[in-house]
Structure 1
Amino acid sequence: MDIQLLKVFSTTAKEGSISKAAQKLNFAQSNVTHKIQQLEADLQTLLFYRHNRGITLTPSGQILVSYAEKILHVIQEARSAVGDSSVPTGPLYIGSLETTAAVRLPVLLTKYHADYPAVDFNLITGPTERHLHAVLRYELNGAFVAGPVEHPELVQENVVDEELVLVTSASHPPVQTVHDVQSRTLLVFPSGCSYRAKLNQMLHDEGILPVKLMEFGSLETILGCVGAGLGISLLPHSIVSEQEQQGQIRCHKIAGMHAIVTTVFIRRKDALITPALSTFLSEMRAHFNKD
């Protein structure tokens, strides 16, 4: 099986479009089409349905996607393994919750970049659910997510425990129970965010249906809107302590099982630990143990 054909197939499957795949691979569209047809002929099966709206994976194509990801990843690992293993170089893709990236990682990343400037470090922020899928698909070398994570193909390391607090405007009266804010608009990150899931579960356990949810893509926007009195949110106290001290918002402690969330670092069990990832893990452990 030709590796180049697999790469074209994998890219086309991810992009969901032959034209987008051609643009990403810097190929002519006809070249992409021809290579997919070559692979279909080699495997003697149809990989994509062609229709007016574009293309859709066939059942055979859906099966091949996971194998193609693994094969291409193993090839990349082989290249890394036979290179100079003494010097961390090459790309390193790490995912993180936006809140963790904002408060917990700047010092760690600054030191890592200074110590290993030859590593092409990439930090991708987003919700836990998205990072789980990206690590499983070999798109990320590892990720900081909300734990615990139970998956047979992943290994996790506890990083830090975060205390969650209800965040309101500075003028909001004290919150004794979640019932005190049941009529307020909830300001949350997009679906897949662990803090949003915690807040929903907390309300569900109390038999409360949220009046209204408003999604925002950044921590700064949520905090700005909370401070202005638009609604409330559930966030780690470490993330909002500075704004609380400045009198921009007010934090209210919560009790019980929802008060603590553990941030963990996950990676695939079967993935090669490259020199770049190995040194990052060492720096991460030293950094958070010190904290």
Structure 2
Amino acid sequence: MKKSIPGTENVVMEIRDMQIFLAVANEGSITRAAEKLEYVQSSISIRIQQLENELHTVLFIRQRQGVQLTTSGQIFKSYAEKILALTQEAVQVVSDRSTPQGPLRIGCLETTAAIRLPNILADYHPSYPEVDLTLKTGTTDELTKLVLKFELDGAFVAGPVEHEELETTVIGYEELVIVSGGQHLSVEQMEELQHQTLLVFRIGCSYRQKYEDWLNAKGLRPAKIMEFGTVDGILGCVHAGLGISLLPRSVVERANAHYKLHIHQLTESAFNTETLFIRRKDSYVTPAVSELIRIATEKFNG
């Protein structure tokens, strides 16, 4: 008689169980997970309870305003993410007909999405209509974490990015410049920068970190920092004279058609920054990914 591995006799979880578990974990709420998956809330609760019974552990702490992962839940989440990523990869590999197709989850910086990505997708989408591409914008730190957690197949971020589990491809370079609303400003007179409000993306933005590191190295600090979620929000407030920002020259030059902006060039090599495409080293490079990298590199440097 065949013997089962001790402790696994009653474990019959399905891929869908892990998808439900991850939806609840990521949403922090059974109600929101049910809405996202278009399931009845009671069904989600039953599946989670069955999963906990099979694993002989509590995965979530139930609270009035939602749920929170237990230690066991956090451990199981990391495995569930890997299992689902490998499952999707297996489907892609066995069905790979060398033509880009299927789902492709890509991350992108706000600035890259505003200026570079439209030209890239204008070539990519008509050429490969069978690719179901979804896009998420965020900071370099946010996108890097999502790639590591298998939630994105890859992302366009600002370099440098160094992680033993990631492979990076240089797509092109961006020159970062200080942008003001047309008022007189001297980069050589550093004390002027110290009195300016810095308009930036949230923490995790590599451009913001470069600027703050640069000022710190000179013993200076910005008078005030205002955080924004979009490029247009930053540019509009710079135009209105509320402060200055550090942005790619390509973004500022394009925006000059709508805003009154002034570019202040920086001579330090640190402000000539790489745009990278990052992905997990252990992930399968699908035709959809390889073609996106190829087209992005051509468009970026064309």
TM-score normalised according to structure 2 size: 0.90
Over 3 Å counting, the alpha-carbon distance change for 1:178 and 1:260 in structure 2 is farther
1:267-288 deviations in Å (ceiling 9; x for gaps): 1111122222122223223334
Which secondary structure state, in structure 2, belongs to the residue aligned with residue 123 of structure 1?
Answer: strand
Q: Could you tell me how far apart the structure 1 residues matched to 2:292 and 2:88 are?
A: 19
Gaps of 5+ in 2: 1-12
Q: What is residue 130 of structure 1 aligned with on the other side? A: 142
**Segment drifting more, 172-181 vs 238-247:** 238-247
Which secondary structure state, in structure 1, belongs to the residue aligned with residue 263 of structure 2?
Answer: strand
Q: Could you tell me how far apart the structure 2 residues matched to 1:127 and 1:115 are?
A: 29
User: Structure 1 residue 197 and structure 2 residue 209: aligned?
Assistant: yes
Q: Could you tell me how far apart the structure 2 residues matched to 1:247 and 1:277 are?
A: 36
Q: Could you tell me how far apart the structure 2 residues matched to 1:174 and 1:259 are?
A: 17
Please list every run of at least 4 consecutive aligned residues from structure 1 whose deviation after the TM superposition is greater than 4 angstroms. 243-247
1:27-48 deviations in Å (ceiling 9; x for gaps): 2222111111111111111111
Over 3 Å counting, the alpha-carbon distance change for 1:255 and 1:273 in structure 2 is same
Paired residues of 2:155 and 2:278 also in contact (CA < 8 A): yes
Q: What is residue 278 of structure 2 aligned with on the other side? A: 266
Paired residues of 1:94 and 1:142 also in contact (CA < 8 A): yes
Which secondary structure state, in structure 2, belongs to the residue aligned with residue 76 of structure 1?
Answer: helix
1:235-268 deviations in Å (ceiling 9; x for gaps): 1112212445888111112233532221111011
The 5 Å alignment of 1:146-165 reads 146-165=158-177
The 5 Å alignment of 1:46-65 reads 46-65=58-77
Q: What is residue 9 of structure 2 aligned with on the other side? A: none
Paired residues of 1:177 and 1:254 also in contact (CA < 8 A): no
Q: What is residue 218 of structure 1 aligned with on the other side? A: 230
Displacement, 1:197? 0.9
Q: Could you tell me how far apart the structure 1 residues matched to 2:189 and 2:258 are?
A: 25
Gaps of 5+ in 1: none
Paired residues of 2:185 and 2:192 also in contact (CA < 8 A): no
1:122-170 deviations in Å (ceiling 9; x for gaps): 2222211111011111121111111111111110011222221111121
Over 3 Å counting, the alpha-carbon distance change for 1:286 and 1:209 in structure 2 is closer
TM-score normalised according to structure 1 size: 0.93
Paired residues of 2:171 and 2:293 also in contact (CA < 8 A): no
- Counterpart residue identity of residue 206, structure 1: K
Displacement, 1:79? 1.6
- Counterpart residue identity of residue 221, structure 1: G
Which secondary structure state, in structure 2, belongs to the residue aligned with residue 102 of structure 1?
Answer: helix
Paired residues of 2:236 and 2:259 also in contact (CA < 8 A): no
The 5 Å alignment of 1:39-50 reads 39-50=51-62
1:56-103 deviations in Å (ceiling 9; x for gaps): 111110000010001011111122222252332222121111111222
Q: Could you tell me how far apart the structure 2 residues matched to 1:187 and 1:35 are?
A: 46
Identity of aligned residues (%): 49
